[in-house]
C-alpha cells in the first residue's frame, strides 16, 4: 500500500513507521516545517520530501491509498479530506477524552487511572474521527505529565505501525474505496 506521511518536527513516529511497517511503501514525507528533523530521516531513507508553503503551485504526483499524520502540527481542512479521505492520526490520549493539545497535563489534573494512545480516522472535527485502535497503561499517583508522555510515546510507536500494517493488509478496511485521486498537492518536492 502506498502511503504519504505528514510530520512537523523530530519525526520519531515517522521513523517508527519506516522501521516497523512491513506492508507499506512510503512514497513521500510532507512537512510544514523546513527545519523538521523528519526531513533528515526521509533523506536517509531515500524518500522524497515536500515542504508545503502557502504560495507554492507546483503539483506533486503522489496518489497515496492512505495518508498518515505523524506529529503533523497543522489541522487538515475539508478540501484536503475530500481529496484524501483515508487519512489517519495517532493521538496521545484515550479519545474521546483530552482532544487537542495538553493531554498529559489535563490527564494529571483530572487524576485519571488510565492513559494511552488512540489511532483514529481524521475528519473535519478535531480528534473526533472514528477510533481504529487504542492501547492504554495504568497511571499511578506519583506519575507526572513527563512520565505519561514517555509511556504514551512508547505505545504510539508500537501501536501506530501495527495499525497501519493491518490497514495495508486489509485487516482494517479503508473508510473509502480507492478511486483515482488528484495529484497530492501544491507543494514543491525536494530530492531525498
Question: What is the reported pTM?
Answer: 0.87
Give the number of other CB atoms < 10 A from CB of residue 121: 18
Which entry of 23, 59, 91, 141 is annotated as an active-site residue?
91
DSSP symbols for 23-89: S-EEEEEEES-TT-THHHHHHHTT--EEE--TT----B----SEEEESS--S---HHHHHH---EEE
Q: Which domains does the chain have, with CATH numbers?
A: 2-190 (3.40.50.170)
Active site residue 91: yes
SS3 for 115?
Answer: strand
What's the pLDDT tens digit per position in 136-173? 999 999 999 999 999 999 999 999 999 999 999 999 99
Closest CA to 127 of 100, 154, 88, 87: 100
Residue 14 has pLDDT above 80, yes or no: yes
Amino acid at each position: 500500500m502506498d502511503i504519504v506521511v505528514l510530520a512537523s518536527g523530530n519525526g520519531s513516529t515517522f521513523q517508527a513507521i519506516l522501521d516497523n511497517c512491513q506492508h507499506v511503501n512510503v512514497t513521500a514525507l510532507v512537512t510544514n516545517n523546513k527545519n523538521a528533523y523528519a526531513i533528515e530521516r526521509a533523506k536517509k531513507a531515500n524518500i522524497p520530501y515536500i515542504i508545503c508553503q502557502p504560495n507554492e503551485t507546483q503539483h506533486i504526483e503522489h496518489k497515496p491509498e492512505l495518508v498518515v499524520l505523524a506529529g503533523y502540527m497543522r489541522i487538515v481542512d475539508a478540501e484536503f479530506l475530500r481529496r484524501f479521505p483515508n487519512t489517519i492520526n495517532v493521538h496521545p490520549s484515550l479519545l474521546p477524552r483530552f482532544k487537542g493539545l495538553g493531554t498529559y497535563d489535563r490527564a494529571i489534573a483530572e487524576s485519571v487511572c488510565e492513559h494511552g494512545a488512540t489511532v483514529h480516522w481524521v475528519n473535519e472535527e478535531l480528534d473526533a474521527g472514528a477510533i481504529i485502535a487504542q492501547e492504554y497503561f495504568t497511571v499511578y499517583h506519583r506519575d507526572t505529565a513527563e512520565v505519561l508522555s514517555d509511556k504514551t510515546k512508547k505505545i504510539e510507536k508500537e501501536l501506530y505501525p501495527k495499525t497501519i500494517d493491518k490497514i495495508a493488509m486489509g485487516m482494517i478496511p479503508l473508510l473509502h474505496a480507492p478511486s483515482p485521486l488528484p495529484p497530492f498537492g501544491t507543494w514543491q518536492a525536494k530530492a531525498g
